[in-house]
Structure 1
């Protein structure tokens, strides 16, 4: 037992769970927690942001790029509400993010007195946005509640959680027993019958196809081992990119997956919602589906698979390989065929999705193989989901199905904070960038060497395209008035420059990465080609099961 304030008890237990970085914004209900972080000294890195959404997005970027918990702290009420778009993104992408928030004085909770930053029921609100949320009402309760937060966040299907403590409880000093780190619940036990049924089905497959999602990242090299044994192409849309390197013939771009779907007879879904396949491509009448997922609720959301394996892909994939090796021999190589598919589809994209293809190609050439790329909800961002070659998992960062416009810049700062020695490039559009452009102050303050490429056509082009195509060209609220972005960056002490071609962009990105300082590179562009024909593909089968 050690005498601690409530704030110290929270921080002590958070650090016991391996956290060494916290993003946040101070305020009255967090005074004692920030003092506790000060007293932790160099054992803790604290990044103070300029807006609560910036703090949350940075924690999100930290978690997405490392697989480790990203932690942020904000005041209650408007502070925590400002951060909730990032929580939605974390929920959509299964990112382990901990929101730690203060609260009004404990005696006032639920009484509607009108304390500063009071919400009618903050805890109930947070429970609708996270996997788990709770409140610590005594310093002594903090260690076990922190551990429960980590168990919930990291166990099973990972998702964000929230923990709050009233400001007066943070100030109270009590004898508190700190605990060892939380023990994360074990993954579901493998069912041998399901593994063997899947192996038997795959042993008889002639054209197997693997759909890989973010839930397969932990399976690492085993996914490629399975793909090589079967000579099964691996298709990923966003979160699964890089699980199999795009240098392999087995890794196929998303539009190519739509073509390969036509002849596929057995599908293996690895940690993927498979929403694109179920909702848009269709399930063929003779197609068999095997799904491996840690979330049992996922199997029957749209259509039930033929074989379900409720397990962590990191355990299930090696077991499936072992079962296959007992009853089958490796398939003949399809390298020539699949390299041909890859080249053909890439050529089609290059010919039509311009100038995005050439600009993304320039960035890829400038970015080291282990560099990290953070997209944005913009024309180049959409195209990057299927165009940008990705060589390792967790090196293409996106916000998943939430499509949270403006998330990219602050998220990329969190990625850079998590990987201080790696190259990180973020792309942005002129619309979305302005959502968190104030965080250039954070980049400058902490010298985060993020390189941002800002494509500027002075409009929300996706919105304007739809207004032209769907509403007879009745344009409203889609043209933008922007600052001089180069001067804007320079006002924060960040180097800004403007380039006008892919070749110049490649040179500028390389030079900026070598300088190891924050940089903004503006690329004025005309309207870009629609990236959507390569994402929204025509149905392969009109009727699912």
Structure 2
């Protein structure tokens, strides 16, 4: 029997029927690229395949830079990291079937954390959709698979629909709660003529403005508060100035979620930190007579990471959110404000100008924050302080650094103990969906988004093995990320979790490869360090080289040196 040289070519008959005609015209795939340029897209992350090559027809002549990950999950995480740094959507071109199921975890992480992401995929030709004929990459309904991971999932049946569907997607990213959007384009539609469609981006609506009545009601409650307190989340990232002004006016302590770190400067006297899951901070929140929650889900991964159900709000609750449904989840507000955080916080401050000065209790405000921070710090153990020293060394060595974390022990410590110097400078995958393997590709996306800032990926040895081949992507994309690997030779946190429950550890003591040799094999610089001075020197050398670098820190060695 004679086999073709490339087995994938058995699907070329389907592509041939959808191939563009010899007559010169702009295809739907080319129109897509032009429209993305108009919306300001800088990068597309994707792995070209037989079903997506026609999406690439217009890329070479465009201003968009293409980045090739080594796995579609990596593409999604890169887009996520890019979006978290810029606030703009990360864009992916993904192949039908396995490409889409590969990126599903990244889309779910972005969905959970309200991150804008546009995933454009191919899908089988219109006449083949849902046929069950066993076509290459066929799913019964690809769109339905991803409907639950997106703001919407749309099948483009006609090139004429493209401008409207993209306008809907970018309206979600700019004007609503940002989440992934999936647009799938059948093979015969990708190559169809799009000569007649408009290629200019649509004017997008502004974010919804809060009603005057709701703002007035919130201002009245806050003006009478003796113990006001603010809980701010990632939905307030664009409102740092307004949040600080209102907090200082009210002398209200401020607790930030992980994705909101940096909204108040790290040394601000009203900054509680991100310790809402700890008893001392929870007690303070219960004492507040009015709590203002802005841009936060009030969800488990920021307020109850100890999973004991002990977080509560006992005072009056004012909530600001761009998502009407989210206003009613977890904690029902006394005043619900639907609108943009920046406008709503500024509006409350403007109304408070008409009230007499707010008078808080003498032991509240900065004094209470200082007492809580001191009480929280006393309870941190030696290993926590040693891992905090790791983070402090990174921040001290690299000015204006962005730290992108995975699900690993130093990141968990940093979520509690580290206060970022600016918004969008500390984020990780331990919140929301909580996946492993996020850190490296997300850091690559962050580095591409901020080429003049140092970017450090803080990741464990277990998590790094999920997406280790993306080191090659970093080299290829000329993204000089610094990967700090916290190596405890296995799934250390799960090992401790099992032991605490009297479960004999199984499956956590995994084989750990030689990361230094592997990193060099991928074309990266690599070294090992075991103390803060050596780490600082390695970090400074890494950023001077402007090449991807892996720095291994073995947990036992670091603890021995830092604790001694």
TM over 0.5: yes
Structure 1 492/27 Cα, relative in aligned 2: closer, same or farther at 3 Å? Answer: same
Query: Which of residues 466, 477, 480 is equivalent to 2:497?
Result: 466
Aligned residue runs from structure 1 range 167-246, under 5 A: 167-246=187-266
Aligned with residue 290 of structure 1, among 281, 305, 318? 318
**Structural RMSD (CA):** 2.1
- Segments of structure 1 that go 5 or more residues without pairing to the other structure are 530-545
Deviation readout 1:149-175 (Å, 9 max, x if unpaired): 222333311111000112222222342
- Does the CA contact (< 8 Å) of 1:364 and 1:389 recur in 2? no
Match of 1:323 in 2: 351
Is 1:307 paired with 2:335? yes
Instruction: Please give the secondary structure, in 2, of the residue aligned with 1:246.
Output: coil
Q: Is 1:263 matched with 2:287?
A: yes
Aligned-partner SS, 1:299: helix
- 1:281 CA drift (Å): 3.9
Name the counterpart of 1:543: none
1:353 Cα deviation from its structure 2 partner: 1.6
User: Is the contact between residue 22 and residue 46 of structure 1 (CA under 8 Å) also seen in structure 2?
Assistant: yes
After superposition, give the CA deviation of every residue in 1:108-149 in whole Å (9 maximum; x if it has no partner): 111111111111100111212101111222333222222222
Counterpart in the other structure of 1:151: 171
Residues 9 and 140 in structure 1, CA contact (< 8 A), matched pair in contact too: no
* Range moving further from structure 2, 227-236 or 259-268: 259-268
Note the 1:259-408 alignment, pairs <5 A: 259-276=283-300, 280-283=309-312, 285=314, 287-329=315-357, 334-335=365-366, 338-346=369-377, 348-349=379-380, 351=382, 353-368=384-399, 370-399=400-429, 400-408=431-439
Mind listing any 5+ residue stretches in structure 2 that lack a counterpart?
A: 1-23, 560-564
SS at match of 2:231: strand
Report the Cα distance in structure 2 between the residues aligned to 1:415 and 1:303, rounded to whole angstroms: 33
Taking structure 2 as the reference length, the TM-score comes to: 0.88
CA distance in 2, matches of 1:142, 1:393: 34
Q: Quick check: 2:266–2:419 contact (8 Å CA) kept in 1?
A: yes
What's the counterpart of residue 166 of structure 1?
186
Q: Separation in 1 of the partners of 2:313 and 2:46? A: 49
1:474-493 matched pairs, under 5 angstroms: 474-493=504-523
Tell whether 2:144 aligns with 1:124. yes
8 A contact 2:31–2:199 mirrored in 1 = no
Distance 1:187 1:207, change over 3 A: same
Deviates more, 1:329-338 or 1:490-499: 329-338
Indicate the SS of the match to 2:118: strand
Offset of residue 259 of structure 1:
4.4
**Structure showing greater relative contact order (alpha-carbon pairs closer than 8 Å, 6 or more residues apart):** 1
Query: Structure 1 280/378 Cα, relative in aligned 2: closer, same or farther at 3 Å?
Result: same
* Secondary structure at 1:434 match in 2: helix
Distance in 1 between residues matched to 2:513 and 2:235, nearest whole Å: 41
Hey, what's the Cα distance between the residues in 2 that align with 1:93 and 1:254?
16
Is the CA contact 2:295–2:322 (under 8 Å) kept in the aligned structure 1? yes
Matched, 1:455 2:486: yes
Contact kept in structure 2, 1:364 and 1:388, CA below 8 Å? no
Aligned twin of 2:3: none
Relative to structure 1, the CA distance from residue 392 to residue 108 in structure 2 (aligned partners, 3 Å threshold; closer, same or farther) is: same
**Distance (Å, rounded) in 1 between the aligned partners of 2:158 and 2:347:** 46
Counterpart of 1:516 in structure 2 is: 546
Q: Shift of the alpha carbon at 1:34?
A: 1.5
Instruction: Tell me how far apart the structure 2 counterparts of residues 83 and 423 of structure 1 sit (CA, whole Å).
Output: 27
| CA shift for structure 1 position 330 | 5.2
Return closer, same or farther for 1:88/1:223 CA change in 2, 3 Å cut-off. same
Matched pairs, number = 523
In 1, distance between residues paired with 2:359 and 2:451? 42
| 470, 476, 495: which one aligns with 1:445 | 476
Counterpart contact for 1:65–1:397, Cα < 8 Å: no
1:60 aligns with 2:87: no
Return the alpha-carbon distance in structure 2 between the equivalents of residues 499 and 282 of structure 1: 39
Q: Which residue of 2 aligns with 1:49?
A: 69
Relative distance call for 1:443 and 1:352 in structure 2 (3 A) is: closer
Give the whole-Å Cα distance in 2 for the aligned partners of 1:252 and 1:516: 36
Q: Aligned pair in 2 of structure 1 residues 34, 218: CA closer, same or farther (>3 Å)?
A: same
Q: Deviation per CA, 1:275-333: give whole Å up to 9, x if none.
A: 25598344355x11111111111122223111111111111000000111211315579
User: SS state of the match for residue 3, structure 1?
Assistant: coil
Q: What is the Cα deviation at residue 343 of structure 1? A: 4.6
489-498 vs 386-395, greater mean Cα deviation: 386-395
Q: Distance in 1 between matches of 2:251 and 2:310?
A: 22
Q: Alpha-carbon deviation of 1:24? A: 0.8
2: CA distance, partners of 1:504 / 1:527: 12
User: Distance between the aligned counterparts of 1:114 and 1:528, measured in 2?
Assistant: 54
Deviation at 1:39, TM superposition (A): 2.5
Q: Distance in 1 between matches of 2:520 and 2:417?
A: 32
Separation in 2, partners of 1:129, 1:71: 15
Please state how far the C-alpha of 1:473 moved relative to its aligned partner.
4.0
Name the SS of the counterpart of 1:38 in structure 2: coil
Kept after mapping to 2: 8 A contact 1:416/1:424? yes
